[in-house]
A and B are shown apart, each in its own frame.
Chain A
Amino acid sequence: MQFDQLLQYTLSGLSTGAIYALIGIGFSIIYNATGIINFAQGEFVMLGGLLTLSSLELLKLPLWAAIPCSVAFSTVIGILFERLAIRPLKQPTPINLVIITIGGSILIRGLAMLVWGKDTHAIPPFSGDTPIPVGGATILPQHLWILAITLIIIIINKIYFYHTISGKAMRACAYNRRAAGLVGIDVRRMVLFSFIISSAMGAVAGIIVAPLTMTAYDVGVMLGLKGFCAAIIGGMSSGISTVIGGLILGVLESLGAGLISSGYKDAIAFIILLLILFIRPQGLFGKADSERV
């Protein structure tokens, strides 16, 4: 096994992992604020990519304008989703919420299929596609964009959650929703906020990854699933541990494909995930909770 091969596996894994991490954080933010596992999270990734495509081709916007435009639009859809599907729910039991987000994801995917068709679409890379050598391995400029944007988003997140009032309020909701309500935090508003943030983040993830992986109405399913895994490994935190969870997942897949078997690479990742859960049922980084009765 040569060093440059190993380096290539790791670098490829890190860049896919960064995407999983971004999607995973989206999952965690909503989960922490509301207790909902939002199975429609992957669809916002899809919307981000496809809306950028439309802004580029139909509205003839330049790339730098198309991106915020599509993030904004995806966020609007996120708000609509919360308003129309989550808020009116009469019995918001966890299982009902799971089904409603599944229904939502099917609905959004179906609409996307009508609007953009079933074909896969390509989006141009942000700054060319001349490979950059790193040691004996190569990466693309887009990979740097992905890593950089992920990093920026994590920093913004950190600032928001620890240094702003609404961020702190949202953390309070994550700890104890009732207590947060009692001290005067508008919990429902926080729920809406959480949907806004995570749909925007999902869209960003979808946009930065589209030049590499291309995009279609059904890309959200697989990416959503992987993002969910990342969040679980990270113990459903909306911070650095989900990022590490995503990176671990990405590198495991890449190493698994390269060193063991490409057919079983997803199985390898999931077996390790199961082992992690069996040994640490609260996620790799989660703190053990004492059970309240």
Chain B
Amino acid sequence: MKRDLLLFIGFSLLVLLAPQLFSGGYLMNVLVFVGINTMLSIALNLLLGYAGQISLGHAGFFGLGAYLSGILTTTYALDPWFAMPLAAAVVGGMAFLIGFPILKLKGHYLAMATLGLGIIIYIVFNETVELTGGPSGLSGIPNLKIAGITFDSDVKNYYLIWTATLLVMIFSLNLAGSRVGRALRAVHDSEVAARVLGVNSRILKVQIFALSAVISSLAGSLYAHTMTFISPASFGFNFSIELLTMVVIGGLGSIYGSFLGAALLTLLPEFLRGANDYDIIIYGGLLMVMVMYMPGGLVRGIPSLYRYLVKSKKGEPGHA
């Protein structure tokens, strides 16, 4: 327990100090997105890694948060601080209601249903032009303001987003270690066994689904208020898949893994930029190689790689 706390404090310090290392520059902007993606992959990881329920439609919840927040603050001139929780509550309520029928499904049927849900939401963004601005997007979304500070630069946004991300992280770490977390893992391993032991798996799954949607929605609202412009293309099927990839590459059922996955997949395109049109090939190939050689994700793969390297270094003279 103490080790967990230390780890979290260390991580937070790293996050706080990072801007000193990469002052100004474009990297700050990328790190803002690492934060948003970390929140999103934690949200999906709670569902997939802890409760064992797949979702291929999380970009939809992300988009709903962004659009609700965006529409409420532009068309209805609501204060962003009021719009964000309102959006999250609506999205959470919606996920709760749809959760009952959808989580009855299993395996690939669940995958298909969530995928369909994501696509329906995406189509609604595109088609309700009067409300969302349609495919050309919604612009003029206000930045967040607090005590006279407007979050309108990369550095300010960095602190805003990462404060939120750290809050989501500590909440999820606590949840994972709590009674609920244990019940969830039981559902993950065997739903029937969990039920026999008195876990109301059905309600639990729906609750986690709604929670996951709420976090995604908050991330969406924050995204909208930092970008000040949103368009449906950012919330399509591809992004749902990208989120899934972040979670799996990072490591299922690990909060820090979600961060690693989000960081890797957000930073990777930056490193591949020089490779021009070859980047998509490298990206696809890397995904495959990662799953082949680090099937447990980065969070388990990096330590074992480290151990392997240390061992082979130390091991050599021993063998001789």
User: Which residues of chain A have a CB within 8 Å of any CB of chain B?
Assistant: 31, 37, 85, 88-91, 93-96, 98-100, 102-111, 113-114, 225, 228-229, 232, 236, 261, 263-264, 266-267, 270-271, 273-274, 277-278, 281-283, 291, 293
Contacts of A225 in B (CB 8 A): 115, 237
Contact pick for A110, options B104, B115, B126, B284, CB 8 Å: B284
Q: Determine the main DSSP class of A at the interface with B.
A: helix
* Residues A111 and B116 in contact in the complex (CB < 8 Å), given A95-B48, A267-B124, A281-B105: no
Contact pick for A107, options B119, B124, B248, B288, CB 8 Å: B288
Contacts of A278 in B (CB 8 A): 101-102, 104
Check B109–A107 contact: CB distance below 8 A: no
B245 near A: Cβ within 8 Å? yes
Q: Can you list 9 A-B pairs with a CB-CB distance of less than 8 A?
A: A85-B292, A90-B293, A90-B295, A100-B288, A103-B288, A111-B281, A229-B112, A278-B102, A281-B105
Check B107–A94 contact: CB distance below 8 A: yes
Contacting A at CB under 8 A, from B25-52, are: 48
| A225 vs B237: C-alpha distance when bound (angstroms) | 10
| A289 vs B121: C-alpha distance when bound (angstroms) | 31
**Top 4 closest pairs, chain A to chain B, by CB:** A106-B284, A103-B287, A107-B284, A91-B295
Contacts of B293 in A (CB 8 A): 90
B283 near A: Cβ within 8 Å? yes
Check B192–A100 contact: CB distance below 8 A: no
B204 near A: Cβ within 8 Å? no
Contacts of B111 in A (CB 8 A): 37, 98
Check A98–B244 contact: CB distance below 8 A: yes
| A96 vs B294: C-alpha distance when bound (angstroms) | 10
Which residue on chain B has the smallest CB distance to residue A36?
B108
Contact pick for B248, options A88, A99, A271, CB 8 Å: A99
B167 near A: Cβ within 8 Å? no
* Residues A103 and B112 in contact in the complex (CB < 8 Å), given A264-B123, A293-B192: no
Encode contact with A along B241-278: 1 for CB under 8 Å, 0 otherwise: 10011001100100000000000000000000000011
Check B123–A263 contact: CB distance below 8 A: yes
Which residue on chain A has the smallest CB distance to residue B192?
A293
Check B292–A88 contact: CB distance below 8 A: yes
B127 near A: Cβ within 8 Å? yes
Q: Determine the main DSSP class of B at the interface with A.
A: helix
Which residue on chain A has the smallest CB distance to residue B279?
A110
Please name 11 further chain A to chain B contacts, defined as beta carbons within 8 Å, in addition to the given A100-B292, A236-B108, A277-B112, sorted by A numbering: A31-B108, A85-B288, A94-B107, A99-B249, A232-B109, A263-B126, A267-B123, A267-B124, A274-B113, A274-B116, A281-B105
A114: shortest Cβ distance to chain B, in Å?
6
| A90 vs B293: C-alpha distance when bound (angstroms) | 8
Check B245–A274 contact: CB distance below 8 A: no
A228: shortest Cβ distance to chain B, in Å?
7
Contacts of A110 in B (CB 8 A): 277-278, 280-281, 283-284
B11: shortest Cβ distance to chain A, in Å?
26
Check A277–B280 contact: CB distance below 8 A: no
Encode contact with A along B123-138: 1 for CB under 8 Å, 0 otherwise: 1101100000000000
Check A277–B105 contact: CB distance below 8 A: yes
Contacts of B77 in A (CB 8 A): none
B291 near A: Cβ within 8 Å? yes
Check B112–A228 contact: CB distance below 8 A: yes
Contacts of A109 in B (CB 8 A): 280, 284
Contacts of B296 in A (CB 8 A): 91
| A272 vs B46: C-alpha distance when bound (angstroms) | 29
Contact pick for B127, options A98, A104, A107, A264, CB 8 Å: A264
Most chain A CB inside 10 Å of its own CB: which residue of B106, B123, B126, B296: B123
| A103 vs B286: C-alpha distance when bound (angstroms) | 8
| A98 vs B190: C-alpha distance when bound (angstroms) | 21
B285 near A: Cβ within 8 Å? yes
